[in-house]
Amino acid sequence: MSIVDLTSMAEAQAELRKEINARLAKLQNESSEYCFQCAKCTAGCEAHKLLELEPHKIVALLKRGLIDEMVNSDVIWTCMSCFKCWERCPQKVAPVEILNALKNMAVASGKQIPGKYTAMLQSVLSICLIQDVQEVTTHEGKTMKRDTLGLPPLSKPTDASKFQMVLTKLAVEKI
Ligand code: SF4
Ligand code: SF4
């Protein structure tokens, strides 16, 4: 069932809408109120093609104040934070930041989050990367590492323990 089906009878949550819009105002120049529902964001969204995320509907639902339905929906976790929706938007609206705010609200209210997110956070805390460096396989079936492809090593924080401490503090404060 889509978010829209779930929310057709829901009441608007003006306070939560205000809270999300205040978070967005700190991050972006343009308000979600400028969205005119052209759906250019959805047309370019990778998660839409694979997982039926529709960022233009997320903006529309925010404008209507239907927040709880989105916070409770698994759909918000399908956004892969590629920022393409923000780049494509002719009105400079950032659906990705609305989704980030919704995910933060879901975590803050103790909702179950997908296991992959926890695994990514653990990986960042232990090796400072969302996942360890992967090898790639060529069309000929040969396995290549970054250095054999002529790529430089990935940069990491010089002081890993300080980085981990700051990240943990930030995560706790955000929650
Ligand atoms: S591209 Fe921008 S204006 Fe168009 S629907 Fe998406 S958020 Fe709204
Ligand atoms: S940031 Fe999320 S919503 Fe925006 S285009 Fe990428 S996957 Fe879609």
Q: How far is CA 146 from the centre of its chain?
A: 27
Q: What is the pLDDT of residues 47-98, one digit of tens each?
A: 987 777 899 999 999 999 999 989 999 899 999 999 999 999 999 999 999 9
Residue 41 Cβ contacting ligand 1 at under 6 Å: yes
Distance 85 CA to ligand 2 centre (A): 5
- DSSP conformational letter for 24: H
CB neighbours (10 Å) of residue 80? 15
Tokens encoding 146: 């970054």
Q: Which protein residue's CA is at the shortest distance from atom 4 of ligand 2?
A: 85
Question: What ranges do the domains of the chain cover?
Answer: 3-108, 115-174
Query: Taking 50 as the threshold, does the pLDDT of residue 1 lie above it?
Result: no
Residue 55 Cβ contacting ligand 2 at under 6 Å: yes
**CATH dotted code for 3-108:** 1.10.1060.10
pLDDT of residue 90: 94
> Do the Cβ atoms of 106 and 113 come closer than 8 Å?
yes
CB neighbours (10 Å) of residue 77? 19
Spatial CA neighbour of 108 closest among 4, 20, 7: 20
